[in-house]
Amino acid sequence: MPVPFEGGCLCGGVRYRVTEEPLGVVICHCTNCQKQTASDRSPVMWVKADSLEFTKGETKTLEVKGTTGNMQSRHFCGNCGSPIMTQPHARPEIRTIKAGTIDDPSWLKPSAHIWVASAPPYALIDEELPQHPWNPPSIG
């Protein structure tokens, strides 16, 4: 996988760079991700907080209670509304980046589906990938 890699929002007003390999790439089906993306899923990757650097613009932030019940900061472009990343308050060392914001996602290979307990009946789930009803034990 190419490191560093970059990404940003739809309008180009917010840009970021990640300087280390992701800790994991998964497809999330939690209700918060469903509402944020207007979809049955959200491909995301976990990265170390100190490996993420914003290189252009600033995000707006919405503080919400996550599906786990813990608070999280949802960062998005204030101009075009693109969701960029989530900062879980219970895991300050991690950032969850929306995979759709990566400039070249061709190298991404999800390793699992998470929060399948809240996936809608029409959700497309790759049966060849592991499925976790909630977060996998490694992330918690």
Q: Which pLDDT value is given to residue 139?
A: 64
Q: pLDDT digits over 53-72, tens only?
A: 999 999 999 999 988 888 99
What percent of the chain clears pLDDT 90, i.e. is strictly above it? 89
Distance between terminal CA atoms of the chain? 25
Q: Which pLDDT value is given to residue 68?
A: 84
- Its CATH architecture, for the domain 5-118, is Beta Complex (2.170)
Q: Which pLDDT value is given to residue 67?
A: 83
∠ Cα 12 76 81 (to 5°): 70
Q: pLDDT digits over 7-36, tens only?
A: 999 999 999 999 999 999 999 999 999 999
- What is the arrangement of strands in the sheet containing 83-88, beginning at the earlier edge strand? 59-65, 71-77, 83-88, 94-98, 42-48, 24-28, 113-114
| Confidence (pTM) | 0.90
Query: β-strand 83-88 against 94-98: which pairing, if any?
Result: antiparallel
Quick check: 82 pLDDT over 80? yes
What average pLDDT score do residues 136-140 get?
A: 68
CB 96 within 8 A of CB 13: no
Cα(133)–Cα(90) distance, integer angstroms: 19
Cα(49)–Cα(65) distance, integer angstroms: 20
Q: How far is CA 109 from CA 29, 43, 61, 68, in A?
A: 17, 10, 28, 25
Domain boundaries, the chain: 5-118
**Backbone CA torsion sign across 129, 130, 131, 137:** negative
Q: Which pLDDT value is given to residue 39?
A: 94
Q: pLDDT digits over 97-135, tens only?
A: 999 999 999 999 999 999 999 999 999 999 999 999 988
Give 1 or 123, the one with higher predicted confidence. Answer: 123
